[in-house]
Chains A and B, each alone.
Chain A
Amino acid sequence: MKSEMYKLEARNINLFYGEKQALKDISIGIDPNTVTAFIGPSGCGKSTFLRCFNRMNDLIDNVKITGDILIDGRNIYKSKINVDEHRKKIGMVFQKPNPFPKSIYENVAFGLRIKGVKDRKVLDETVERSLIQAALWDEVKDDLKKSALSLSGGQQQRLCIARTMAVEPSVILMDEPASALDPLSTAKIEELIYELKSKYTIVIVTHNMQQAARISDKTAFFYLGELIEYNTTTTIFTNPKKEQTHNYITGRFG
């Protein structure tokens, strides 16, 4: 394996919640500018694994992780790394839209503000660019001062995506970003993901297999904390090598 080829690479990741092992020896390599879908039944560890990439699991007590995660060839579990700086490069969109109880503008500007950017012009430009990228600009451009909480669920989620893009990460992790949304909003988010691929490396956890099939280049199937199969999406959905994968995608369990 040549690690410099991969944007993201996990090597032999084991993760424990206390005594319970949630991830078992997972290794995976993710190419730049692709969309990779993590699928699998609830509790299979796909979200937990996703959160290893920006060290979100650090926030939970009692979690122990072994193995290496490399981003652009750099090991992020080395003790010297600055986690806050690292998270600025790895954006994350969560399952439920979680805008801050601030204005639309301040939500998008937050990432820059914590970096210490004060220049009004830079902030204005970034907010506009990010909202345009997230396909939300036309809907909110006249109400940037309004509370983000007044937006609909779908708009809130696109706002969260805009907020993530404002800090210009190279990777965006998405944890079931459309699961709390109606079909129309879901379609918009999917369209967006498809467009973002040219600029970002996207990893998306999803319960919706049609969604995985529609938007991803590669798919990884997880089951009971193990990575069962990882291949191009077409192969996973038309010609899976493992029986468990076949059973899952044909709806026999999960």
Chain B
Amino acid sequence: MNNSQVNRLKDNAFKVFAIICTFFGLLVLAVLLYDIFSKGFSRLDYNFLNDLPSRVASRAGIYTALLGMIWILVLTVLIAFPIGIAAGIYLEEYGKKNRFANFIEINIANLAGVPSIIYGILGLELFGRILGLGNSILTGSLTLSLLVLPLIIVSTREAVKAVPKSIREAAYGLGATKWQTISSIVLPSSFGGILTGLILAISRAIGETAPLIVIGALVYVPFAPTSPMDEFTVLTIQIFNWVTRPQAGFVTNAAAAIIILLLFTFMMNGIAVFLRNRYNKRTRF
């Protein structure tokens, strides 16, 4: 074999290796999906979604967990999105670039890396005990909000930073105030990027279990929450509870609940990707 043949062989070898790597993750996901669906799909029906939890596996449903998750998500979105986006805008547009700003920036990056259980302990102490909110939905949402805030702040900043200086100048040049420039030019132009951060935040919030267990989310909730001050459980905790049960029926339940959880996550991601693509097409520079 001469040199060029060796090189071509290496070239192809790497290509094959890269393809295998690409499919490795997908393959694992496929195996997981197959496993979950084969176990849980037959368990899925209207009653499963609409039943209260029960000691009998075949009668147990995810109604309260599903509602708890929706409550938690909606409140987290309401709390974390405005604060996170506003903080990101402040840091990028208003904050002076000095040492203090640097310090804040480093710490926000650090916060993004703090293990979620630590947030749980913080939430338990601060919201649950000091503020006296107990193990309510509100405590859970506030805790998850803290958890996803750094994500939202960082992605908002990145998105806002990506808006070219030239179009800001155009707005100022026409006599727009700072807020007019931000609200009518900068934010719409960076909406795609901000949305990406929000997707990540929601996906993360849906998947979190540990901090909610720490703040005292219940495993068994026989009633549907009706206010933010109610006790709650969420899907992930319900799944966690079921997989630890010895009876085979609960494993089936867990698989079925996982299907619902995955559907939720995929649906969220799908909607967000769709919106992002639509906005990106409109605002490419």
Contacting pair A94 B176 (CB below 8 A) = no
Once bound together, how far apart are the Cα atoms of A59 and B173, in whole Å? 11
How far is the CB of B95 from the nearest CB of chain A, in Å? 11
Query: Cβ of A181: which chain B residues have Cβ within 8 Å of it?
Result: none
Contacting pair A84 B167 (CB below 8 A) = no
Query: Cβ of A111: which chain B residues have Cβ within 8 Å of it?
Result: 174-175
Across the interface, name the chain B residue whose C-beta is closest to A167.
B174
Contact of A100 among B97, B177, B185, B284 (CB under 8 A): B185
Contacting pair A101 B283 (CB below 8 A) = yes
A164 at the A/B interface (Cβ < 8 Å)? yes
Once bound together, how far apart are the Cα atoms of A23 and B221, in whole Å? 73
Contacting pair A149 B285 (CB below 8 A) = yes
Contacting pair B189 A56 (CB below 8 A) = no
Interface locus among A28-36, A85-93, A187-195: A85-93
How far is the CB of A91 from the nearest CB of chain B, in Å? 7
Query: Cβ of B180: which chain A residues have Cβ within 8 Å of it?
Result: 114
Query: Cβ of B166: which chain A residues have Cβ within 8 Å of it?
Result: 94, 96, 98
Interface residues in A68-119 by Cβ distance below 8 A to B read 84-89, 91-92, 94, 96, 98-102, 110-111, 113-115
Q: How many residues of chain A are within 8 Å of chain B by beta carbon?
A: 30
Interface residues in B150-202 by Cβ distance below 8 A to A read 164, 166-177, 180, 184-185, 188-189
Query: Cβ of B15: which chain A residues have Cβ within 8 Å of it?
Result: none
Of B96, B174, B189, B285, the most chain A CB neighbours within 10 A belong to B174
Interface residues in B52-69 by Cβ distance below 8 A to A read none
Contact of A88 among B174, B189, B283 (CB under 8 A): B174
Once bound together, how far apart are the Cα atoms of A180 and B212, in whole Å? 57
A163 at the A/B interface (Cβ < 8 Å)? yes
Once bound together, how far apart are the Cα atoms of A96 and B285, in whole Å? 12
How far is the CB of B189 from the nearest CB of chain A, in Å? 5
Query: Cβ of B176: which chain A residues have Cβ within 8 Å of it?
Result: 84, 110, 114
Contacting pair B169 A98 (CB below 8 A) = yes
Query: Cβ of B171: which chain A residues have Cβ within 8 Å of it?
Result: 100, 110
Q: A96-B166, A101-B188 are in contact. Are A87 and B174 (CB under 8 A)?
A: yes
Once bound together, how far apart are the Cα atoms of A115 and B184, in whole Å? 13
How far is the CB of A211 from the nearest CB of chain B, in Å? 22
Contacting pair B184 A88 (CB below 8 A) = no
Contacting pair B97 A61 (CB below 8 A) = yes
Contacting pair B97 A84 (CB below 8 A) = no
A179 at the A/B interface (Cβ < 8 Å)? no
Q: How many residues of chain B are within 8 Å of chain A by beta carbon?
A: 24
Contact of A164 among B174, B185, B188, B283 (CB under 8 A): B174
Once bound together, how far apart are the Cα atoms of A231 and B41, in whole Å? 85
Q: A98-B164, A100-B185 are in contact. Are A56 and B285 (CB under 8 A)?
A: no
How far is the CB of A109 from the nearest CB of chain B, in Å? 11
Contacting pair A56 B174 (CB below 8 A) = no
How far is the CB of B51 from the nearest CB of chain A, in Å? 49
Contacting pair A163 B169 (CB below 8 A) = no
Contact of B173 among A54, A85, A99, A115 (CB under 8 A): A54
Contacting pair B172 A59 (CB below 8 A) = yes
A160 at the A/B interface (Cβ < 8 Å)? yes
Query: Cβ of A114: which chain B residues have Cβ within 8 Å of it?
Result: 174-177, 180, 184
Interface residues in A188-226 by Cβ distance below 8 A to B read none
Interface residues in A40-63 by Cβ distance below 8 A to B read 54, 56, 59, 61
A147 at the A/B interface (Cβ < 8 Å)? yes
Supplied contacts A86-B175, A100-B170, A110-B171, 6 more A-B pairs, CB within 8 Å: A56-B172, A88-B174, A99-B167, A100-B171, A111-B174, A149-B284
